[in-house]
Amino acid sequence: MEYLALILFVLVCLVLMLGYPVAYALAGTALLFASVSALFGAFDMAYLHALPSRLYGIMTNQTLLAVPLFVFMGMMLEKSKVAEDLLAAMSQVFGRFRGGLALSVILVGMLMAASTGIVGATVVTMGLLSLPSMLKRGYHPAFATGSICATGTLGQIIPPSIALVLLGDVLSSAYQQAQLNMGIFSPDSVSVGDLFVGALVPGLMLVGLYLAYVLLSAKLRPHWFESTSEKGVSMQLKPLLKALLPPLVLMLLVLGSILAGLATPTEAAGVGAMGAIVLALFSRQLSLNRLKDVMLGTTKVTSMVFLILIGASVFSLVFRGLGGETLIEDFFTGLPGGILGAMLLVMLVIFLLGFILDFIEITFVVVPIIGPVLLAMGVDPVWLGIMIAVNLQTSFLTPPFGFALFYLRGVAPSSVRTADMYKGVIPFIVIQLMLLVMLAIWPELVTWLPDTLYS
């Protein structure tokens, strides 16, 4: 009977793989499993009495208010053609260099990732805008698609990322629970802002590694890039500043207010949403129909997130009632290698789950299970959050199940072979694995900046 919790977890994964909606699969499978287990005396239905208070806590959670605001900001910037103007301006700057368009795609993708924070939105946007241009200028399909997919996954790690908002909220609860389990009744806290600050250095490192790979490839494989460098392209300063400054100022306002301690992530998200409306007004891209589309899209994404969170709450209650938390704790503490062995196993499991589950499901289902155990073993919560984010980013890029590949396949022309897409992302996967190893060897790359700012 002690393995019923693991059977429940496997059963939920199977139901999700069959294509059922995530929220209903989590809650429905858990309730059905709990009812059957209760008939045999293996589950106490009193655990479900905590569900109303949990749901009330979700709906009154101030941190989660940042989710609809950041989603609104990203969708408004996407509809106002900010990425299109940025790509045109960046192409003027780097167009005179071989591989210049690829450099532009990565830099614009970084800004779009910071704006939208959603992998699918960034991949689709960059795929529609830049892939036809890259193919027309003679880029090898493998390199073009690989760079776009890799750039799109930056939305996992570049703040203000929705993934980091959700991870921060879940890790905050897990960290407090871990300390209470250890008998610490005045627990320290970890916030979404801590994760934003901790993600800055790894995120910029990853962008730098991408840019270095493009430059190295242009040197070693010039036939994969433009047939001729565009030295005749003139760089005009005014259009460049007009396209670059507004979104850059908005990002600095959002992140700067958080870093300086002037605003919480939720308050900064409100600034970002209002700033996106102002940018759309100044670019004359805002209309009532466009505003309606943005609001409907924001409502759909936000409803999906909260419905999954409710389903995950039901699942976690049943999982805990079946003794799953104790089972996981005993398993991790008995692993050879201590913290290192436990982290390796968790990273491997999350990487594999990234093939079949989105980051929202993994954040709400898996992290509450493994988080308190790892944090009680002494793992830094900010470092753990960034490691999970980079790990998921790598998983979403890995063939044959990577979500980023599916998103780009949906908008790529039929002339681009899927095999070329798989081939193109491999170097970027190696780069992300290198970053994971670097973060594991030098955790200070994550923890130094938060410790310095909030010491």
Residue 389 located in a structural domain: no
Which token pair is 129? 């805008």
Q: Judge whether residue 207 has pLDDT over 90.
A: yes
pLDDT at 418 exceeding the cut of 90: no
* Rounded Cα gap, residues 24 and 98, in angstroms: 50
Structural domain boundaries enclosing 420:
65-303+400-453
Q: Say if 58 falls within a structural domain.
A: no
Buried b (16+ CB within 10 A) or exposed e, 128-140: ebbbebbbebebb
- Per-residue pLDDT tens over the stretch 15-71: 877 878 878 888 999 999 999 988 888 888 888 888 888 888 888 888 788 888 888
DSSP, collapsed to helix, strand or coil, labels residue 95 as: coil
pLDDT of residue 235 exceeding 60, the answer is no
Residue 339 lies in a domain: no
pLDDT band at 342 (very low <50, low <70, confident <90, very high): confident
In-domain check, residue 22 = no
121 — pLDDT class (breaks 50, 70, 90): low
Dump pLDDT digits (tens) for 173-196.
888 888 887 777 677 778 888 898
Q: Which residues contact 421 (CB under 8 A, 6 or more apart)?
A: 141, 142, 145, 146, 149, 399, 405, 408, 409, 412
367, 166 contact by CB (below 8 A): no
Helix (H, G, I), strand (E, B) or coil at 26: helix
Q: What is the pLDDT of residue 436?
A: 94
The verdict on residue 60 lying in a domain is no
| Joined tokens for residue 205 | 């490192």
What pLDDT is recorded for position 227?
57
Q: Does residue 385 form part of some domain? A: no
pLDDT at 232 over 50: no
Q: Check residues 437 and 399 and name the one with the higher pLDDT.
A: 437
> How many C-beta neighbours within 10 Å does residue 428 have?
22
Pick the range with the lowest mean pLDDT from 148-157, 331-340, 364-373: 331-340
Tally of domains in the chain:
1
Tokens of 401: 């199940």
Q: Cα–Cα distance between 254 and 256 in angstroms, integer?
A: 6
Tell me whether residue 78 is in a domain: yes
Where is average pLDDT lowest: 40-54, 90-104, 162-176, 251-265? 90-104
Query: What is the pLDDT averaged over residues 294-313?
Result: 87
- Characterize 405-423 residue by residue with b for buried, 16 or more Cβ atoms within 10 angstroms of its Cβ, and e for exposed: bebbeebbeeebeeebbbb
Pairwise CA distance, residues 333 & 181, whole Å: 15
> Mean pLDDT score of the chain, rounded to an integer?
83
220 assigned to some structural domain: yes
pLDDT bracket for residue 111 (50, 70, 90): confident
Cβ contact 181:89 at 8 Å: no
